Amino acid sequence: MVPQLTRAAAPEPTHSAGSGRTAQPATIASIAAEAGVSVPTVSKVLNGRPDVAPATRSRIEALLEQHRYRRRKSRGAGGQRLLDLAFHELDSAWSIEIIRGVEEAAAAAGVGVVLSELGGKHRPHQEWLDEILARRPLGVLFVLSSLDATQRHQLESRSIPFVVLDTAGEPPDDIPTVGSNNWSGGLSATRHLLGLGHRRVAVISGPPDVLCSRARVDGYRSAHDEAGVPIDPALTRYGDFYFDGGYVHGKALLTLRDRPTAIFAGSDMQALGVLRAARELGLRVPEDLSVVGYDNLPLTEWLGTALTTVNQPLHDMARTATQMLIDLADGTALPSRRIDLATTLVIRESTAPPSR
């Protein structure tokens, strides 16, 4: 999973000269006057309507940002309470855990959920954002997707709050975020393997430019440090979080002359790839190779060899993020803008002491 959130520039702390530093908040009329356009034109921009010339639109957006204009909150078009849930990409079992958590919290609050996928892109395109501006949901929940500074200001000026459900991004401190403790997850998985007696433990993590990948690898390193076991750099791999990432790196690791006796994978999907690679090489799990996954998707319990894995509470993370968003929409102060839920190790059948 590849969360990235462009660090937004902090909004200007003072009003511009144009607003005269008065306590008077900007209005649609004052913005229109300053931009030299009609009030309806400013409204169109606020509502994400496409029929405004790009240059005019940019000028108005810049003034909205400069004056820190904040639209009055709306209950959305038609009085309906809807929130938007935006996935970078919908992939099988992982996404559904999050969807279920969001549905549960939203339904309890009488809020409908509009689901969208950003087509594999980490940053929504403007047409998508325009639909949001037009629909005026009570808020937007981003999963592993990002907003640039301009987009962030667009939501802020329309008083549409957002929360990032982000197992490892590095968002600006003032963006509400729900994640989990990846470092602890990496630590407990690796401690388990070292505790079983393994001394050649490999790690396959996600892309190196993603914080959660690095946090898990750092947990892996700390476990080695505390056990006094040296790390072989050849046993640390970064790939994507899908099946292929585990399969390709698993094959490479398991065909090393001095192959690892245990592999900690960055996701359950990667672990499936490792299991597949092991099988093709005639290695039995856990007799010849121990494998630990990450996420604890339901299917890991059902595999022929039930998978030992780090439980990442995706469902609870999603419920928490949704409740946070609803609280923001209702004007309730958040006790904390950054919540990391605990990860726990679930020991099943894919791990055992090394046989050699």
Least distance from its own copies to the Cβ atom of residue 20, Å: 35
Cβ nearer to its own copies, comparing 113 with 334? 113
Candidates 9, 304, 330, 342; binder of its own copies (CB under 8 A) is 304
**DSSP state at residue 293:** E
Q: Is 59 in the site for its own copies (CB under 8 A)?
A: no
The residue range among 15-23, 58-66, 191-199, 293-301 that interacts with its own copies, by the rule CB under 8 A, is: 293-301
DSSP conformational letter for 334: P
* Residues sharing a CB contact under 8 Å with residue 188, sequence separation 6 or more, in sequence order: 219, 310, 343, 344, 345
Rounded CA separation 242/245 (Å): 5
Report how far residue 73's alpha carbon sits from residue 317's, in angstroms, rounded to the nearest whole number. 26
Alpha-carbon distances of 34 from 113, 153, 202, rounded to whole Å: 38, 19, 61
C-alpha to C-alpha distance for 142 and 98, rounded to whole angstroms: 11
* Residue 273 binds to its own copies (criterion: CB under 8 A): yes
CA torsion sign for 44, 45, 47, 49 is positive
Q: Does 79 bind its own copies (CB under 8 A)?
A: yes
Residue pair 173/162 in contact by the 8 Å Cβ criterion: no
The pair of structure tokens assigned to 109 is 């609050």
User: Which of 71, 91, 126, 218: binder of its own copies (CB under 8 A)?
Assistant: 91
> Is residue 117 close enough to count as binding its own copies by CB under 8 A?
yes
Q: How far is the CB of 248 from its own copies (least distance, A)?
A: 13
Candidate residues 32, 42, 99, 165; the one interacting with its own copies per rule CB under 8 A: 99
- Judged by CB under 8 A, does residue 356 bind its own copies? no
CB of 215 to its own copies, least distance (A): 26
Establish if 238 lies at the interface with its own copies (CB under 8 A): no
Q: What is the maximum alpha-carbon separation in the chain?
A: 79
Two structure tokens written together for 311: 């439980």
Is 67 among the residues that bind its own copies (CB under 8 A)?
A: no
Q: Is 82 near its own copies (CB under 8 A)?
A: yes
Candidate ranges 132-140, 187-195, 256-264, 339-347; the one touching its own copies (CB under 8 A): 132-140
- Out of 243, 263, 314, 321, which residue is the one contacting its own copies (CB under 8 A)? 243
Minimum distance from residue 320 beta carbon to its own copies (Å)? 18
Contact 180, 313 (CB under 8 A): yes
Compute the half-sphere exposure of residue 83: CA atoms within 13 Å on the CB side of its CA: 28
Binding mask 133-152 for its own copies (x = CB under 8 A): -xxx----------------
Asked if residue 234 binds its own copies (CB under 8 A), the reply is no
For residue 251, state whether it binds its own copies (rule: CB under 8 A): no
Contact with its own copies (CB under 8 A) among 112, 172, 207, 353: 112
Q: According to the binding rule CB under 8 A, does residue 297 interact with its own copies?
A: yes
Pairing of strands 162-165, 139-143: parallel
- The residue among 197 and 298 lying less far from its own copies, judged by its C-beta, is 298
| Closest of 105, 117, 114 to residue 83, by C-alpha | 114
In angstroms, the Cα distances linking 59 to 35, 38, 56 are 7, 13, 5
Binding residues (CB under 8 A) for its own copies: these are 76-80, 82, 85, 90-93, 95-97, 99-100, 103, 107, 110, 112-117, 119, 131, 134-136, 243, 269, 272-273, 275-276, 279, 297-299, 302-305
